[in-house]
Amino acid sequence: MRAPRTDRGRLLLVLALVAAVAVFTATVPLLRDWFDLRVYYGTVHSWLYDGGNIYEYRVPGTTYGFTYPPFAAVLMAPMALFGLHVAIALALLLNLAALVWVLRVLTGRAWHRYGWYGCALAGCALAMFEPLRDTFSFGQVNVLLLALVLTDMWLLATGRTRWAGVGIGLAAAIKLTPAVFIGLLLVTRRRRAAGVATLVAAAATGLAALVAPGASRFYWTEAMWDTTRVGRLDYVSNQSLQGVLARLGETGRPVWAVAVLAVLGVWVWRSRRAVAAGDWRAAFALTGLTACLISPITWVHHLVWLLPSFAVLVRAGHWRVAATLYALLCTSVVWLWFDDASGIDGFLGSNSYTWITLGLLLWLPLGQPARMSSRRNAMATVQAPRQAASAIAATSGQSGTVSGTAAIAATGTGSGPDLGRSRSASSEPTGSTRPAAPKPQSSSERASS
């Protein structure tokens, strides 16, 4: 099938794709019924209007409640001023705005060259990405957290380091997983940014302790350590290393700890190499992959942290690899083993998204090919006048004068040794057609959002 070459043909194709995506998203993903957003809304409403405890609230008819740190509840408190449907609309708008910013940071200004047609096709593709469509239909906060973290990536990559760390600190205070990015700042020796992130996270946590002291005490002494509050480890939506081991029947901590240490070792090694090459985008992508792997529970919708990895693959020219992996993450293939993950096929298939995440961690391309090529060309331009000057000096004997002329010519071509040293980096069931359970992402009776 040939791509349409006229604007009319392109418009018809886009309209057809939009209609197909709309039908799909209106029938399958929305079975999630904004469940997590209803958890958030019910929690803050009960807390502010009924005097309830943040961690005692349960969605009516279920045993599911709030599991994030208290600061998240403080930030979500304004939802109680509106009705549920208004809160849903606001959450959709916030997620859309955050997604636009994420794409802007990951693609730079490259999207301009594709025009409206390319952007429309990309929008349809994003709407099919299972982690994204789940984040929207559950009313989750993953894209918002990704936007905060990538803001720090943009600040570091562009040399605006004064405020770097604020986004990571806020994200870590809202949810524990982004705290891994503070580790990235430490292992890459960005101590100031790491300090800023730590101070911001501590200040936000302290604020929550002042506003809700009882809830804060309960969370940090009990709730945080009880993974059963979040969901069953062996549930097929859990695409972390712990989920793989749990589906094998291995629930002991030692094996999981060894696997986590191995992943962390690879992450430190590859992240340092990425930053040494000036590739902050790859470093942040590797950290997002690592966070998904080492977290005890990584629901499918948490895998929005893989988006930076696809941007890195596309930038490096690996379009086919990116398209293949992306397509797999749109298929909801893991749900084929919803009832039974035994056997070789169950081991491979039910953990498909984990294998993708692990493969990206091991083989994601690092460096900035385009910029390195530019640097080689620029350095060749710089060397040419120097070589010519040397030849002239050898024949004329006026080495002093000519050397000065060569130096001026060399520096006049660009920025000398700094040329190419750029400030920007090279830059819960979700797709299944089965009816939604009372808590779509887990069947645990003590789970939460």
pLDDT at 441: 54
Burial class (CB in 10 A: 0-12, 13-18, 19+), 58: middle
Q: What is the mean pLDDT of residues 433-441?
A: 46
Determine contact, residues 279/271, Cβ cutoff 8 Å: no
pLDDT tens per residue, range 41-97: 999 999 998 888 899 888 888 778 899 999 999 999 999 999 999 999 999 999 999
Sign of the dihedral defined by the CA atoms of residues 355, 310, 233, 438, in that order: negative
The pLDDT, as a whole number, for residue 28 is 65
Element (H, E) at 196: helix 191-211
Cβ count within 10 A of residue 412: 10
Nearest to 205 by CA among 175, 183, 180, 185: 175
d(CA 219, CA 55): 8
Q: Is the dihedral of CA 208, 140, 259, 364 positive or negative?
A: negative
CA-closest candidate to residue 11, choices 19, 302, 211: 19
Question: CB 210: neighbour CB atoms within 10 A?
Answer: 9
Cα distance between residue 107 and residue 314, in whole Å: 10
Q: Tell me the pLDDT tens digit for each residue of 386-412.
A: 444 444 344 344 444 333 433 333 333
The confidence score (pLDDT) of residue 33 equals 80
Between residues 433 and 319, the one the model is more confident about: 319
Q: Between 199 and 426, whose confidence is greater?
A: 199
Distance CA 126, CA 95 (A): 13
- The yes-or-no verdict on residue 414 having pLDDT over 80 is no
pLDDT digits (tens, 9 = 90+) for 231-288: 788 999 999 999 999 999 887 789 999 999 999 999 999 999 999 999 999 999 999 9
In sequence order, which residues have a C-beta less than 8 Å from that of residue 370 and are 6 or more positions away? 315, 426
Instruction: Collapse the DSSP code of 351 into the 3-class scheme (helix H, G, I; strand E, B; otherwise coil) and give the result.
Output: coil
Q: pTM to 2 decimals?
A: 0.80
Q: What was the pLDDT predicted at 180?
A: 96
Query: Collapsing DSSP states into helix, strand and coil, what is residue 65?
Result: strand
How many Cα atoms sit within 13 Å of 397 on the Cβ side?
0
Count CA atoms within 13 Å of residue 38 on its CB side.
15
Alpha-carbon separation of residue 70 from 67, 100, 235, 328 (angstroms): 9, 28, 26, 36
| SS3 assignment, position 448 | strand
DSSP 214-281: HHHHHHHHTGGG-GGGT--TTSTT--SHHHHHHHTT---HHHHHHHHHHHHHHHHHHHHHHHHTT-HH
